[in-house]
Structures are given as C-alpha cells and as structure tokens.
Structure 1
C-alpha cells in the first residue's frame, strides 16, 4: 500500500471511529439530559444542519486550497468534539456541540473523499470502496468498544480514549497525506452548481443509500434497547454488526465491481439491503434485529462508493463538482433525515420505521443504470 493510500485510509478510519463512538453514547446522552425522543430528534437535526452548513464551505476551501490542507484542519477540530459534547451541562450547550460535531464530521468527510479521488488519479486505479471500508471499520471499532467501555470504566474515560485514539490515527497519517493542488479554474471562475440532471440523479442514489445508514447509526441502539429489550452492551452491537459486514464487503468491493460491473453490483447490493432492513424491522428480538442490520450492511456496503465513483467520473463535468453534489446530498441523508425519523418514531415506534425505509431502495434500483459511469471511471482512471 502506498503512503498516500495508507494516509487517506487512516483518515477514513478516524472519521468512522468518531462517528461509531457516538452511536452507543446516544441512550446515555438522552438520559443524562433528561430529554425525550422528539428533543433528541431536534438535537440530531442540529447535527445534520451543522453538516449541511459546513460541507459546502469545506468544498469551496478544497477547490481553492486543496484537500490536504482542509482535511488536516477539519480532523484536528473533530478529534475532541465527543469530549466537548460529553461535558455539555444542558440542552443548549449540547446543541452547540451537536452542530460542531455534525459540521466537522461532514466537512472532514468531503475533504477525505476529495483526497481519495486525488489518490485514485495518482495511482491510476479505484480505491474508493476500500477507503469506505476503513470508515466502516472505524465505525465498527467505535460502536463495538463504546458500550463495553462505558459499562466497565464509565462515560468520561470512554470519551477520553476516543479522543486520544483519534489523535493517534491522525498523527500517523499526517506526514503521508497526498499534497494535491487546487484546481486553477476554481480560482478564476465562480463555483457553480451543475445545471444538468445527471449529477443530481446520482446524488439521489447516494442520498437514498445513506438515509438507512443514518437511521441505524442514530436510532438502532434505542430500537434494540427500548423496543426489543436489549442490554446497554448489546444495544451498541446493532451498528457494530452493520459496520462489520459493511467493512468486510467494502474491502472486496473493487474486486466485485471488476467481476460484475458497477450496475449489476449496485442492483445486487440494493436488493440485499432491502431484505436486511425489512428483516430488522420485523424482528421478534434483539438478536434477530442485529442479524437483519448485518445483512443490510452487506447490501449497503458498495452502494455509496459506486455512487461516488460515478459522480467523480461523469462526462463533461469536473470530478470535484459531481463529487460535491453526491457527497453533500448523500451525507445530508445520513445526518439530516434521522431527525425526521425521531419525530415519526415517537408516535409509531422504530419497528415500522425500519420496515418502511427500504422503499427508498426501490428508487435506487430505478436509477441504477447510471452506475455505468463508475465503470467508465475505473477504466480511464
């Protein structure tokens, strides 16, 4: 593995680790602040707003300064934010913490995806699926050890461990991050949103692939604990199982796409994800639900990397522009939509939510022919 590829992989690992570490904290966070699902939904909405505000700003800085500088700055700021959130004494300070956490998870995400595209160009091969595999692996580690550490050593020691490990990942990656140059056109022209429909259609594919991921991240633990009677430790394993299967399949993703092509791979993954989410929603107990989340993880694994590869390789469009649309739409689905789910779930419960979310996958199937651009990119990268 080249140094540049190792560095960007570590950045994905770190971002996933912070995000995954947040998942098992949610029930404790809710209880400590003494809030209901609707207020928690509002705080998660603030998390999403932070992401939506900072992601396009990060994109502008990337176009002008390059992804290396932006990813370093955003990663430094992100590292201690879970600690800040844990020390928040009330809902209002928690809201500020949620805005910053969502904002810098999202801003770093755009920057590291942009850096991965530049590494792909320098290596002349696709690495996007494996980069996202490292994000999932980080999510697995964060979610897997989170409940265990909180139960054994307490909430504050857990978050201190998360902060230190995040800084270690960043320190190792720091000197090896690819130093890309900003696009000269970005300095001469105003950055405009594309007027053609194709990048927006691929953005919808990314959006509808990532809404279910956000639902499992933000609400999976509460669903397992409150509706299926799981323990604190077991409730963290919903997202952990989801991340484990997702990471495993993403490491194989580039090879599967070589074998089957992006379009066929996307369709196979989408059907698998649909079955897994319905399985989780109809589960009679926590163990069966966790198995459903694991199956959904297998399916969702390569849906997003294929959408991002297609977005970065659209004919007649700068790679950065298409990628900016797809990442912003995709991550807004993961970070923003779960707040709406919280409001609905307070009246309906989470079981019906997880059973109905797969309707989104039907839309992805209808748009799946656009995945051919991911193949085109791989052949010419």
Structure 2
C-alpha cells in the first residue's frame, strides 16, 4: 500500500516539528521578546526614577545578580520536579515582571523589580534550555540552535516594536499588551510542553555543585564564547565610530551584521550538527569566530570590521547551543544541575565581562581588545572534544 505524498509529507513534518518542539520554541520566542522589549524601556525607566548613569549601572548590576542567584536555584528545582513543571512555574512568575518594571515608583521598588526581572528571566532560561534538551532526546536530533534562533527573533521583535509602542500607546499599555500576549502564548503551548520527570537513575544526593571537572570545562567553553559575543554587543558600535571613523548610522551595523548572520546560522545549525556531529561543528564554528574577530580587530576601516563581525556571527551562532546541549546531556548528573553550572558561567561572561573590557580599552584600544579576544576562543577549540555529549541522536 502506497502512502499518498501529502500524507507522507505531513508525517515527516509532524515528526520533525512535534508539538513539544513548537512549544519550547515558543517559550524561547516569548523570553527573547521580553528581553528585546526591555532595551527601549531603559531610558523611560531611568528618567521615571531620576537615575544618574552610575545609578542606572547599579540597577543593571541588580539584573545580573538576580540572574546569578536564581539560575542555580532553577537547576536544583529541575532536578527535583523535572523540566516541564519548572519551565511552567518560571514562565508564569516571569511574565508579570514587565508590568512591575513599568509600575515601580521609587529606586528601591525599581531595584526589586529589576532583580526579579533578571532572576526570573534567568530561571526561565535554565528551565527552557533543559526542556529543549529533553525534546532533543525524545526526537533524537538537535533542536537547540533553532531554539536560540527563536530567542534572537523574539529579541528583534521586542526591540524593534518596543519604542514605537511606548510612544504610541504608552509605557504601561505597552507592558500590559506584552503581558496579555505572553499569557495567551503560554496558554496556547501549555499542554504541548514536553512532560518529563526527574530521571530515576539520578538520586537526590547528586543535587549539589558537581565535583567532576566536566561541567565546569563545558562552562568555560560557554563563558569564553559569550565574552566575545557580549563585547561585540556592548562595544562594537563604539569601536567603529570612535576608532574607525564610522558614522552613527553605520556604526549600528557592527552588532547588526553580527546578529543577522548569527540568527540565520542558528536556524541552519541543527541540520549542520546532525550532519557533521557536534565536535566538528564546534571546531569549524570556533575557527570562523577566531577569523572574524581577528579581521574586526585589525580592520583598517569600518566596512572591513563589519565583515569581520558578520563572519564572527556565523561562528559564534552555534557554539553556545552546542555547549548547552552537551551540559544538559552529561551522564551521571542530576537533571538540570550541570546545565545550570554551564549557563551561569556563560551568562556571567556576557553580564560582567564587558565592563572590564571597557576599562581595558580605555588604556589600550578596542581594536587591541578585539584582536586579543580570540585567545579565549582558542581555549574553546582546545576543549571542543567535550562537545561529543551534545550528539544525543547517536544515543540509545
């Protein structure tokens, strides 16, 4: 009996895009949209609370502290109740934070709101990455890169619509609209989130900081990947404008070129990893990131630097997803704990390293910094063999 072509095609699509994959991709999109929408809110938040630049800097530190405190707690929660319960709880708690940021009337309430915003986005981040690992296991194929691509897409949507909506409908109305849409989106995917339980082979005694070096080595891979990524985000435009003579409009393309190639390659990254394996994909990606960063650091003009950042985006795009998949699949660790170690180490690089890089650049130059950062990527290359744990499709 021959299966009709349209029926066979639908079966392939449903197996490649099961409801659980659509659901976790939607959670990444939701989280990214909120993070993108935060960027155009920052000036209004600062003016409403009469914050100086240094006070705003301290507020952003509160965001980072919240993330670093609640991320490990989310990992412990996942180990006890599984990823599906953890991601549902974290998302429900996270969604109202945009309203809290918009309603905060004082510096202290603003600090609490931004602490919760940073902490709960971090907790949701851990939980949705852990759930994506479970979906990878159930599908026996890579999906992590495309999940991160949906996060990038959400951040783009949130950032590009946020300013317009704040101007046209108001600050509180913008936050209310986001909250309602997020709740509707969560309700739509609620029953499709992959249901799992703590793995029976993992005892509660293992819910502690890992003593084995492996999660920490993979954490170093994530950290040394996210420091260059955060540096391009925070300092790429300033480098092109101040040191390469780019116009204000052109300097914005520093991160634009990087993020565009990153988003495109993240949608393609799962196919590449399934075809060539995580180790080879990570190694080629790291070499491309090194080449791109060196080109940007030694660029004689803004256009060459922009090309370097674009190549770097191609390379870095799939490095963090591979590290997260590897950490989430490490055998012998409580579910979520190894992943939380890697995620906390990685995000600490993007949260705190750029300020140190700004200090170093004041005494040297951004060109010098960008040309030295590839040393960190060389360490990732040396540790790349540990990415083999990301190849879940080969497991039985």
TM norm structure 1: 0.83
How does 1:48-59 map onto structure 2 within 5 Å?
48-59=64-75
Deviation, structure 1 residue 298: 1.9
- In the alignment, what sits opposite 1:35? 52
1:230 to 244, 248, 261: 248
Deviation, structure 1 residue 118: 1.7
**2:78 and 2:336 in contact (8 A); partners too:** no
Show structure 2 runs of 5+ residues with no match: 1-16
Distance 1:277 1:148 in 2: 33
Distance 1:207 1:147 in 2: 31
Deviation, structure 1 residue 100: 1.1
CA 175–346 in structure 1, closer or farther in 2 if over 3 Å, else same: farther
**2:75 and 2:339 in contact (8 A); partners too:** no
Further displaced range: 135-144 or 267-276:
267-276
Deviation, structure 1 residue 57: 0.8
**Cα deviations across residues 12-70 of structure 1 (Å, max 9, x unaligned)?**
1111111222234445555664422x544433222111111101111111111121122
Distance 2:201 2:83 in 1: 15
**1:67 and 1:112 in contact (8 A); partners too:** yes
- In the alignment, what sits opposite 2:13? none
Asked if 1:323 is matched to 2:339, the reply is yes
CA RMSD of aligned residues (A): 3.5
How does 1:121-140 map onto structure 2 within 5 Å?
121-140=137-156
Distance 1:351 1:43 in 2: 29
- In the alignment, what sits opposite 2:323? 307
What count of residue pairs does the alignment treat as equivalent? 377
Residue 104 of structure 2 aligns to a residue in which SS?
Answer: coil
CA 259–3 in structure 1, closer or farther in 2 if over 3 Å, else same: closer
**2:202 and 2:335 in contact (8 A); partners too:** no
**1:41 and 1:338 in contact (8 A); partners too:** no
- In the alignment, what sits opposite 2:29? 13
Distance 2:63 2:288 in 1: 29
Deviation, structure 1 residue 156: 4.8
Distance 1:345 1:93 in 2: 34
Deviation, structure 1 residue 380: 0.8
Asked if 1:361 is matched to 2:369, the reply is no
Distance 1:225 1:148 in 2: 26
- In the alignment, what sits opposite 2:228? 212
Distance 1:156 1:315 in 2: 46
CA 99–266 in structure 1, closer or farther in 2 if over 3 Å, else same: same
Asked if 1:196 is matched to 2:212, the reply is yes
Residue 182 of structure 1 aligns to a residue in which SS?
Answer: coil
Asked if 1:379 is matched to 2:394, the reply is yes
- In the alignment, what sits opposite 1:104? 120
**1:229 and 1:286 in contact (8 A); partners too:** no
Further displaced range: 46-55 or 311-320:
311-320
1:333 to 335, 338, 349: 349
**2:257 and 2:306 in contact (8 A); partners too:** yes
Distance 1:235 1:201 in 2: 35
Residue 46 of structure 1 aligns to a residue in which SS?
Answer: helix
Distance 1:289 1:153 in 2: 38
Distance 1:78 1:6 in 2: 20
1:88 to 85, 104, 113: 104
- In the alignment, what sits opposite 1:79? 95
Deviation, structure 1 residue 11: 0.6
2:261 to 242, 245, 250: 245
CA 280–28 in structure 1, closer or farther in 2 if over 3 Å, else same: farther
CA 288–16 in structure 1, closer or farther in 2 if over 3 Å, else same: farther
**Cα deviations across residues 232-267 of structure 1 (Å, max 9, x unaligned)?**
xx8877656544322221121122123333222212
How does 1:94-173 map onto structure 2 within 5 Å?
94-150=110-166, 155-173=171-189
Deviation, structure 1 residue 2: 0.9
